[in-house]
Amino acid sequence: MRSAIERFLEHLRAEVRASKHTLRAYRGDLTAFARSVQERRDAEPRLRDLSARNVRAHLAELHGNTAPTTVARKLSALRSFAEFLLRRGEIAENEVALVSSPKRRQALPVALPVEDIGDMIDQPQRPGPRGVRDRAVLEVLYGAGLRVSECSGLDLGDVEVGAGQGRVRVVRGKGGKERLVPLGERGTEALRAYLDVRAALVKPKSPPRALFLGDRGGRMGPRSIRGLVYRRCEETGARARVGPHGLRHSFATHLLESGADLRTIQSMLGHASLSTTQRYTHLSLGKLLDVYESAHPRAKKG
């Protein structure tokens, strides 16, 4: 088996052009499996030992001390190795393909407190049109719960900034699926202020329809928007360093804590499945206890 591992690594290096980091990871994963088999059998591992049974036994050894993502990576390396051997006719079947990947824990994004969001938006921004634009971007991200790609892709015709509250029209996905999201008075006011100064950011090659223009006149891209959010977290001392998705999650969480129902939040976020909305909108234990104590008839004595 060890010579086959070396042939596979050479294939990755010469034909796939895998990086040094990838080669090092594959070598470590495959060598660890070979060593595991050798320790159980007390004999040099052979290609026939690349079985579903041995792979499961190896993964079981890792259970409890290794993160699910790392276990999944090790299994992926073994699958690729077995597929390589199958193509070369060195094994009759790829039994590793029968082994299921471990379930990965989905880490929930952090929701900032309302006060931190307010500081990020309301505390002094950069002077001039760029600061006005930055404020409008933050207001739209949080006020409409947009994905960073959706915010970057907004055109001038996608926003309504009449008297009072405005609206944001989001178009994404196959078939031009769209949704309309309300924008509060503060967000509408910030957008209106930005539109008044947008011309100062226009360059000769600026896209005429793009809503948010970057410092060089092009459409403000997701990377620039992420940088803006991270910078404002640091400048205002937010309790966590979040990106645009953190603002989107904060939007949903704050709505839920204020009494909005999940179906409404699902519609505003543009989720196809309600289960996705539930994953993004978790309440803190303290909030749940507050609701329980104020609403449940048996929560208190007397």
Residues recognised as catalytic: 147, 174, 245, 248, 271, 280
Spatial CA neighbour of 189 closest among 140, 236, 123, 238: 140
With contact defined as beta carbons under 8 Å apart, do 157 and 211 qualify? no
Measured between alpha carbons, how far is residue 302 from residues 139, 233, 289, 297, 298 in Å?
46, 46, 18, 10, 9
With contact defined as beta carbons under 8 Å apart, do 107 and 240 qualify? no
Length of the chain, please?
Answer: 302
Q: How far apart are CA 270 and CA 302, in angstroms?
A: 45
- HSE-CB at 84 with a 13 A cutoff on CA atoms is 20
Q: Is 89 helix (H, G, I), strand (E, B) or coil?
A: coil
